[in-house]
Amino acid sequence: MPKSWGSVARRGAHVVRSTGPATREAPTPSGPPPPMDEWVLLEDEIEAPAAEVVEPRRAVREVPGDVATAIRKAAADSTAYRREKLVDQMGRAIEAYDRHRFEEAARLAGRLSDDAPGVPEVREIAGLAAYRSGTWRSAGRHLEAYRQIKDDPIYLPLEMDCARATGRPRVVERLFEELRQNSPDPDVLAEGRIVLAGSLADRSKMSEAIALLEESGAGRPRRNPGDRHIRQWYQLGDLYDRSGDVPRARAMFTMVYDVDPKAYDVKERLKELGPVRPPRRRRRPAGGGAST
């Protein structure tokens, strides 16, 4: 699979958190996991009578009340114990996602979606975790279900990326048209445009991919560029480079580098393109002067 799949459109996610309602910010690393419990044997306790050892239970993120209620309602035919186990499973899925254990989160939330298929937050975390772990078909299925339940196009670029990864270019184009008709946030539309350009490039339609971005103004310099501008500059630089237009590729990568030298692999890309060659000076004719 091309390395670009699953990396271009990671505008991420407003995953359910215990601190409040869902937001549209990309998830940030939650830091290293807490240290494991350490058992210490003290000398004056050697002769003490044996006590029952209770295994410490790993902390689980609290599930927001409205989400917990929706999960319980979805499993109304189950026992009360079973319903609480499902809520606990959602908490463990959130915990795993926040710790960047995406495969574990995808497994937990994916199983939970069988019991609570109509709870959008369950579908959301299942889709995002599957996406982050590169399970494209599963990710696309859950994200599509989330969109249909919530009528929210925010993850359409990720759905497009899943379709691209599984070799379905017509689905990519159809989803992009749906995205445009929804008049989404500019950042979301830019992500969709980036994925569609990548899909066109996959099929060697470089001129169409470049035109798609250029016609939207993606290559213009910006006084205060945002993340979407930098991402589109990089994408254009890559397309120019792959099509053999080294000067334009260098110009795009330079725009990225000037704003964020650590963005992606832009430093290496500029190094691969080599230094800018000065224009060749025209040789003066022999004799030094013009003839009379």
Question: What token pair was written down for 26?
Answer: 């990309």
Q: Tell me the fold of 219-277.
A: 1.25.40
DSSP letter string, 70-119: HHHHHTTTS-HHHHHHHHHHHHHHHHHHHTT-HHHHHHHHHHHHHH-TT-
CB-count burial class (<10 Å; 0-12, 13-18, 19+) for 45: exposed
Report pTM: 0.75
| One fold for 63-150 and 219-277 | yes
Give 144-188 pLDDT, tens digit per residue. 999 999 999 999 999 999 999 999 999 999 999 999 998 889 999
CATH no. for 63-150: 1.25.40
Residue 278: band (very low, low, confident or very high) from pLDDT cuts 50, 70, 90: low
Q: Residue 8 — very low, low, confident or very high, per pLDDT cuts 50/70/90?
A: very low
Query: Quick count: other Cβ atoms within 10 Å of Cβ 205?
Result: 15
Query: 39 with 117: CB under 8 angstroms?
Result: no
Binned at pLDDT 50, 70 and 90, residue 123 comes out as very high
Q: Which helix (H) or strand (E) holds 145?
A: helix 136-150
- Average pLDDT estimate for 188-205: 96
Q: What is the pLDDT of residues 110-119, one digit of tens each?
A: 999 999 999 9
Q: What value does the mean pLDDT of the chain take?
A: 81
Task: Spell out the SS3 assignment of 200-215.
Answer: HHHCCCHHHHHHHHHH
Counting Cβ atoms within 10 Å, is residue 202 exposed (0-12), middle (13-18) or buried (19+)?
middle
What are the boundaries of each domain within the chain? 63-150, 152-203, 219-277
Provide the percentage of residues in the chain whose pLDDT is more than 70: 74
pLDDT confidence of 285, banded at 50, 70, 90?
low
Cα–Cα distance measured from residue 265 to residue 257, given in angstroms and rounded to the nearest whole number: 10
pLDDT over 60 (residue 17) = no
